Amino acid sequence: AAAEAEREAVSRAEQSIGRAAAILRDGGTVAFPTETVYGLGADARNTEAVEAIFKAKGRPSDNPLIVHIADASQLDGLVTEVSDTARRLMAAFWPGPLTLVLPLRPGVLSPRVTAGLTTVGIRMPDHPIALKLIGESGCPVAAPSANRSGRPSPTLASHVEEDLSGLIDGILDGGPTGVGLESTVVQVQEDGSVTVLRPGGITSEQLAAASGTAVTTDPGIERSPDEEEIVAPKSPGMKYTHYAPKGALTIVQGGTPEQVSGWIDEQLKAAAGRGERTGVMAFEEHIGRYAADCVQSLGSLAGLEAAAHRLYAALRRMDEEGVTFILSEACPEEGLGAAIMNRLRKAAGQRVVRL
Ligand code: TXA
Ligand code: MG
C-alpha cells in the first residue's frame, strides 16, 4: 500500500513537472523532492532567481548553494577540471547523495550561487521527479534544502509548506524522501585524497572503497560553542546552527544502554516535575523504557537507515507538540551513524552529556 501511495504521488507530481520546469526557466523558485531531502530550486545562471532562494529561506548570503544536474554532460560547462578521483566517485555514486566541490568555470553561474568562492558544489540527485524537472528546465538548478534557514530539512512536501508557503512559486510533491539526510559533500585534494566537508548519505567507508584513496573528514565541520580555537569549516554551511527544534535538545552518549535509559528516565521525570513538556528520541530497542509527552522512535540500531529517514520529521514533531525539554539517545559513529550524529549534535547546539 505504501509503495502504491508513493507511485500515485509520483505520477501526480509528474503532471506538474512541465509547469514547474517553466517556472524555473522564467526565473521562479520551485521546491522539489530529491532522494535526500526536498530542495528549493532556481536557475543557477539567474542572479535574481538565486536571490529569491536566499530571501525565501532567510539564508546567510555567504553560504553557497549546491547546483543540481540531470546529465553528466552538463558538468563540463560548469567546471574547469574533473580529477580522476572525482570521476571515479561520480561513476560510483551519481545519480545519488554525493556532492562534489569542483573548480568553478567563471562567468556561467550567478556569483550568488557560489558566494564568491572559486569552487562549486555539484550533484546529480537520484530521484525521478528531480531528474525530470532539471532535464525539462534545461537549467543547472541551484537548490539548497527547502526549509527556512536553521530549521530541520524537509523530508515531506508538508514540511516545505510549513516553512515556505507564500514565499516560493511552486512545490512538487513526491511523497516522503528516501535517505532523509542531506548529501555527503566532498572535495578531492591535489594529492588525490578525499576530504568530507559534510557527512551524509554516502559514508566515508563507501567513499574510500570507490576512490581507492584516503578519506578524511574536515575538522572544521563541528565545534562546541565553548571551544576557544575555532577551525573554520571548508563547507561554509557547517558553521551555522541547524536543524534545531524550539525545545532544548541534549544528546546522551556513553554508558551502558541501562545507564543511558536510567539517566534519561530520571531527567524526564525531573523535567516534567518542573512543568516542562518533555520529549525523547530513542532507538526501537529501548523505546519502551521511556515515558514522555512526545516519544519518537529512530528505528532499530541494527539498521541506521531508519534513523536517517526519520530524524528531521521527529525534530519537527517535537515543535508541533510544543515540547520544551528533549533528550536523545546516540548511535555509533560508523557508516551512516557519522551523518546522523553530526546532524543530531547540530540540532542540539552541541549539547552532549557523556555518562
Ligand atoms: O542533499 C542535499 O545536498 C540537499 C538536496 C536539496 O540536494 N541540498 C542541500 O543544500 O543540503 P544546502 O544548501 O542546504 O547545503 C549545501 C551545503 C552547505 O553546507 C554549503 O556550505 C556546502 O554545501 N557547499 C556548497 N557549495 C560549496 C563549495 N563550493 N565549497 C564548500 N562547500 C559548499
Ligand atoms: Mg540546508
* CATH number of 90's domain: 3.90.870.10
Which pLDDT score, from 0 to 100, does residue 240 have?
62
The candidate with the shortest Cα–Cα distance to 109, out of 150, 59, 58, 74, is 74
Residues 200 and 264 in one domain: no
Residue 225 confidence (pLDDT) above 50: no
Residues with CB under 5 A from ligand 2 (ion): 145
Query: Which band of pLDDT confidence, cut at 50, 70 and 90, is reported for residue 1?
Result: confident
Residues 188 and 272 in one domain: no
Give the residue-averaged pLDDT of 42-69.
96
Tens-place pLDDT, residues 114-151 = 999 999 999 999 999 999 999 999 999 999 999 999 89
Tell me, yes or no, whether 216 and 297 share the same domain: no
Same domain, 217 and 287: no
- Inside any domain, residue 12: yes
Are residues 344 and 216 part of one domain? Answer: no
At 157-174, the pLDDT tens digits run: 999 999 999 999 999 999
Task: Give me the half-sphere count of Cα atoms (radius 13 Å) on the Cβ side of residue 116.
Answer: 4
345: CATH: 3.40.50.11030
Give the total number of structural domains in the chain: 2
What's the CA-to-centroid distance between 158 and ligand 1, angstroms? 22
Domain span at residue 131?
Answer: 2-223
Average of pLDDT values for 201-229? 81
Is 200 inside any structural domain? Answer: yes
For ligand 1, atom 19, name the residue with the nearest CA.
Answer: 237
Q: What is the dihedral of CA 96, 345, 315, 93, to 10 degrees?
A: 0
Q: In terms of C-beta density within 10 A (0-12 exposed, 13-18 middle, 19 or more buried), how is residue 266 classed?
A: exposed
Residue 179 lies in a domain: yes
Q: Does 185 sit in the ligand 1 pocket, CB within 6 Å?
A: yes
Is residue 64 in contact with ligand 1, taking CB distance under 6 Å? yes
Mean pLDDT of the 321-332 span:
97
Q: Is 114 in the pocket of ligand 1 (CB under 6 A)?
A: yes
Instruction: Output the residue whose Cα is nearest ligand 1's atom 21.
Output: 237
**Residue 71 cell numbers, joined:** 546529465
Q: Which residues contact 174 (CB under 8 A, 6 or more apart)?
A: 9, 10, 13, 32, 33, 127, 129, 157
- Does 99 contact ligand 1 (Cβ within 6 A)? yes
Q: Is residue 232 part of a domain?
A: no
Spatial distance between the Cα atoms of 302 and 305, rounded to a whole number of angstroms: 9
Task: Please give the Cα distance from 192 to 265 (Å, whole number).
Answer: 48
126 part of a folded domain: yes
C-alpha to C-alpha distance for 140 and 126, rounded to whole angstroms: 16
Which of 223, 255, 283 is the last residue in one of the domains?
223
> Do 267 and 204 reside in the same domain of the chain?
no
Cβ of residue 101 lying under 6 Å from some atom of ligand 1: yes
Q: Does residue 193 share a domain with residue 253? A: no
Residues 308 and 250 in one domain: yes
Give the mean model confidence (pLDDT) for residues 216-232. Answer: 63
Probe target for ligand 1 pocket from 181, 235, 243, with the most ligand atoms within 8 Å of CB: 235
Which of 173, 195, 223 marks a domain boundary? 223
pLDDT band (50, 70, 90) for residue 222? confident
- C-beta atoms surrounding 320 within 10 Å: 11
Q: How far apart are CA 184 and CA 254, in angstroms?
A: 26
Mean pLDDT of the region 10-15: 69
**Whether residue 69 sits in one domain with residue 26:** yes
Does residue 202 sit in the same domain as residue 264?
A: no
Predicted TM-score (pTM) of this structure:
0.92
Q: Is residue 298 domain-shared with residue 215, that is, in the same domain?
A: no
Residues 219 and 247 in one domain: no
